[in-house]
Amino acid sequence: MKKFRSVNLRTSSRGPLLLLMSVLILLIILKIKKYLFGMTTKNSYAAELYGDLLAAGFNIQTAKYVVAQAAHETGNFKSDLFTKWNNPFGMNQPSMRLTTSTGPTPDGFASYGSLFQAALDYRYWWQARNMPETFSDITDFVGTLENKNYFEASLSEYLRGCQDFYKLYYS
């Protein structure tokens, strides 16, 4: 029968090992969190909107494109329309479709009680325009918005803005 020799590790040698293990566990958790949410946390409004878009029925990839679009529309969620009225898309007050808007702003834009209401209203707009559910890439997404006359800027300017924010949040 073999005898096993017990190993007596000193407390001081366990300290660095425990620290290393803690750091590794933290890195694994952060990697999992990034995978689950699919974005960086450069802006808490972007993260909240992403979750709200998923809850409103958008698929994961389209929700990412829409967040990039909203970041472009609002100057990275800093515009007055966004901060005062929870309107991340520059939506006008609808008159002919279902809406979650709480009423028009003084300038005629839609106002919302929450970011989720804005995401849900965008979903209603999406459905009213028979927008597709999936896109091959962000260029396809922005091209579809242009075909629906969603924005007034040039296609190249709007596409570049959306691409830049997409890279910021999802690269």
Shared domain for 136 and 72, answered yes or no, is yes
Shared domain for 93 and 65, answered yes or no, is yes
**pLDDT value for 43:** 85
Asked whether residue 1 is assigned to any structural domain, the reply reads no
Shared domain for 22 and 91, answered yes or no, is no
Shared domain for 143 and 63, answered yes or no, is yes
Contact at 8 Å (CB) between 119 and 109?
A: no
Shared domain for 25 and 105, answered yes or no, is no
Contact at 8 Å (CB) between 49 and 42?
A: no
Shared domain for 33 and 52, answered yes or no, is no
Shared domain for 12 and 89, answered yes or no, is no
Domain that includes residue 20, residue range: 8-37
Helix (H) / strand (E) element for 143: namely helix 138-147
Nearest Cα residue to 45 out of 25, 6, 75, 15 = 75
pLDDT < 70 regions, the chain:
1-42
**pLDDT value for 106:** 97
The model carries a pTM of 0.76
Shared domain for 50 and 15, answered yes or no, is no
| CATH number of the domain within which 158 lies | 1.10.530.10
Shared domain for 26 and 86, answered yes or no, is no
Nearest Cα residue to 82 out of 131, 26, 43, 134 = 43
Number of structural domains the chain divides into: 2
What are residue 55's DSSP bridge partners? Answer: none
**pLDDT value for 171:** 87
Instruction: Tell me the C-alpha distance between 167 and 161, whole Å.
Output: 10
**pLDDT value for 27:** 58
Instruction: Tell me the C-alpha distance between 122 and 119, whole Å.
Output: 5
Shared domain for 29 and 70, answered yes or no, is no
Shared domain for 32 and 59, answered yes or no, is no
Contact at 8 Å (CB) between 25 and 18?
A: no
**Residue position matching structure tokens 């425990």:** 18
